[in-house]
Chains A and B, each alone.
Chain A
Amino acid sequence: MGAVVRRNIPQIIVTIIILLMVIFYFFYISSEVRTAFNTWDKALTDWVVVITAMAAIVGGVDILRYHVNQSRKKEPKQVFFSGIVMIMEVIMVAFAVIALSSGISIPTQQNFQWLYTYIYAPSDAAMYSILIFYIASASYRAFRVRNPPALLLLVVAILVMLGNTSLGELLWSGLLPIRDWIMTVPNTAAFRPITMGLGFGIIILGLRLLLGKETTWMGRRE
């Protein structure tokens, strides 16, 4: 009974849902069929939206639980980091409760907006901006021509970089069409197999899920 509930029933549900999704997506034979499918198709996709929204709550609770456990370890650094995460989470929830009790939507709540605008936004921008220093540092140390393919890579990189800037325009107006050609022809040729490979990978994963060969989503490795 235990195995049926833990393994067979979830697998049957997943198989049915995969089959329905495939039918709804690929078998729009006529507008009548589309209309007939639409209610069920919409219901299924809406369930995913609802489940995802609920999963965010579960995720929030899980993060809080993790950091409560971490802060019990009494390591000064960990207590500090976990403390910040917990405080921020509690504040966010408090603002959300205030917003909901005031009858306004959460993103428009003033304190919530302040937190996002003056704490989150500058931190996020600063973190991303720091990358430029790593890239600049690597430019002198790492981008060195050690063999012919590295030379080719460097020449292409320089052409694209110059094509992306006004500096390139100043040097030679022909750099822009060259950049466009590199992006549309050799770059696309290189990325297309990757995209197709990814697509095939998704199909194979879908088939494995459909046939019950993939069980990791149930928390098992067998």
Chain B
Amino acid sequence: MTAIEKIDKILSTRQLLYTLLVIAIILPLIYPVGLPIGISSRTKAVYDYIQDDSKVPPGSHVLIEIYYEVAARAELEPQVIALMKQLFEKNCKLVFLSTITYGPLAFQFLQASAPDVFEGKTYGEDYVFLGYIAGQESAVASLAKSITGTVATDNYGNSTSSLPLIVEANDASAYALVIVASSGTDTFGWYVRQWYTPYHTPLLFGALSVIAPSIEPYVNAGQAVGMLTGQRSAAEYELLVGRKGLGIASMDAQSFAHGLILVFIIVGNIVFAYTKLSKRGEKK
């Protein structure tokens, strides 16, 4: 058995790879290395858009769709928290809703993760959570026409028509921005079709890294003002708004795990090429 074959045999054992992966994820979380995080032009463009008072005026209304389950929380929640911080600092009023059944749970976690961001904000005046709304794209279309006409109560059983924030902003024309934080691909299309096309309400997407490529055409066509992609964008946004959170904290772990996978891909290919060449040599 040659040295390369020995390496191949050792690296082929799943147990080794899994152990190394667990170490690569856990160690940086316990002992952060603080690898540099550069800010991409796309994330900066989103930040600048919200900062621009002519585009998102101070005190304006923003709708936030929380369409992610717990599994996608690590990537999307830090994005939403960072965006919320920036919007609350501009005194924007936020209306949260979810067209996925996990929404109320995701929002509960969101509140628990960012008590500092919600501090000093009054429910019903500064923010509202409408809860889970059934009907998917039809619900999104209906909300654009009238929120009180679509949902009678919010997540906590309060009448929507008794909430000052909803009375102020009851349809799509009242919103300066819609943020769609989603772990699914369809959700983005719903808002493009039901909010952007008929009412020209600006959209901002928060997507998982694995989903981002498929919704890129919407952003490229100008149907969304921008897109935040996965944990990387979340970390960048946290740096921009000056609130270090889960995004930055998990970047080291993500980097080491990706690095390890890259090493295995490269080594795997070296072994593969060597084996292929040596077989050719034997045939000759």
For B, the interface residue count at a CB cutoff of 8 angstroms equals 72
A-contact bits for B93-133, CB 8 A (1 contact / 0 none): 00000000010110011000000000000000000000111
Provided the pairs A46-B150, A53-B134, A140-B17 are in contact, do residues A169 and B261 lie with their beta carbons within 8 angstroms?
Answer: no
- A38–B35 Cα distance when bound, in Å, is 54
Residue ID in chain A nearest B41 by CB atoms: A180
- A22 CB to closest chain B CB (Å) equals 13
Closest A residue to B236 by beta carbon equals A176
CA A44 to CA B6, docked complex, whole Å: 67
B40: nearest chain-A partner, CB-CB: A176
Q: Report whether over half of chain A's contact residues are helix, strand or loop; otherwise say mixed.
A: helix
Q: How far is the CA of A139 from the CA of B259 in the complex (A)?
A: 11
Tell me whether A42 and B145 are in contact (CB under 8 A). yes
- Would you call B105 and A140 a contact (CB within 8 A)? no
Residue from the list B36, B105, B198 in contact with A28, Cβ < 8 A: B198
* B70 in contact with A164 (CB, 8 Å): no
The listed residue with most B CB atoms (<10 A of its CB), out of A140, A173, A183, is: A140
State how many residues of chain A have any CB contact under 8 Å with chain B: 63
Contact B134 A52 (CB under 8 A): yes
When C-beta atoms are compared, the residue in chain B nearest to A48 turns out to be: B138
Chain A residues engaging chain B, CB cutoff 8 angstroms: 25, 28, 38, 41-42, 45-46, 48-50, 52-53, 56, 103-105, 107-108, 113, 116-117, 120-122, 124-125, 127-129, 132-133, 135-137, 139-141, 143-145, 154, 158, 161-162, 164-167, 169-170, 173, 176-177, 179-180, 183-184, 187-188, 191-192, 194-195
Other CB < 8 Å A-B pairs besides A117-B108, A180-B41, 4 of them?
Answer: A107-B132, A122-B70, A136-B257, A191-B214
> Please, could you name 9 A-B residue pairs with CB atoms under 8 Å apart, sorted by A?
A41-B145, A46-B149, A53-B134, A117-B108, A120-B70, A120-B105, A135-B261, A144-B268, A180-B40
